[in-house]
Amino acid sequence: MKVLRIKIEGWTASFRYPGFISGFQPTLPVPPVSTVYGLISAARGELTVPADVNIGYVFDFESKAVDLETIYELSPGLSAKSNVIKREFLYNPTLYLYLDRPDFEKHFRKPRYPLLFGRSGDLAKVSELKELELEEEAGKRLGKTILPFGIKGAYGLVQALPSHFTDTIPRKAVGVKPYLLMDEFFVYPEKCLFDPEMDWAVWLHKN
């Protein structure tokens, strides 16, 4: 299969747990599928959903830390009260994004909007674009990504997450289902797309 591989790097990343509204804010270990579609939407300058392109990705970071952040809690009458919370973040994140639409390269050569690893302060940049042909192979390492729950031999954090959001006000979550978030590799016994340059398997989330 011919794919486009995009290497995207940043200084920080933070991917919110859906169930944490207030207090300590932990980060998911890998970006949700919806975050990656949001990133592609920013590059294209228009809403991009699973019907437009199939994606796979491998995400890594150097370390995890906690920062203090000032937030403003809004009340009726345009009044606001400041508060300080602890927010977990990932340091030196790198995303290898695989798209089955090589023609999307032009969008990442000159993104329409800033690329973000989660929050508005988590700016990211494209550092490599490459078109390559991937073959299916068995017994390769797979991980540091998000997988549909129930993949043979996979383990990790289980979380219900949407595949993407609408662009309506308010926006709506679409395609919510259980995913497995893996921050390490395991040997996947079945056939899967394989990137020989990176020596890892790539799970393509198909529409």
Q: How far is 112 from 44, CA to CA, in rounded Å?
A: 6
Q: Find the range with the poorest average confidence among 10-14, 152-156, 200-204.
A: 152-156
Nearest CA to 93 among 146, 14, 24?
Answer: 14
Domain enclosing residue 51, as ranges: 1-199
pLDDT of 19 over the 80 cut: no
CATH number of the domain to which 123 belongs: 3.30.70.2660
Q: Note whether residue 162 is domain-resident.
A: yes
Token representation of residue 139? 């017994």
- The pLDDT value recorded for residue 146 is 96
7 alpha-carbon distance from chain centroid? 12
Q: Note whether residue 7 is domain-resident.
A: yes
pLDDT of 156 over the 90 cut: no
Token pair 């169930």 is found at: 19
Q: Per the structure, how many domains does the chain have?
A: 1
pTM: 0.93
Token representation of residue 117? 């690893």
- The pLDDT value recorded for residue 73 is 82
pLDDT of 207 over the 90 cut: no
Q: Note whether residue 79 is domain-resident.
A: yes
pLDDT of 103 over the 90 cut: yes
For the segment 126-137, the average pLDDT, to the nearest whole number, is 97
Q: How far is 26 from 86, CA to CA, in rounded Å?
A: 8
Which band of pLDDT confidence, cut at 50, 70 and 90, is reported for residue 23?
Answer: confident
Q: Note whether residue 207 is domain-resident.
A: no
For the segment 182-197, the average pLDDT, to the nearest whole number, is 96
Q: Note whether residue 23 is domain-resident.
A: yes
Q: Note whether residue 144 is domain-resident.
A: yes
Segment 51-78, tens digit of pLDDT:
999 999 999 999 999 999 888 888 887 7
Which band of pLDDT confidence, cut at 50, 70 and 90, is reported for residue 196?
Answer: very high
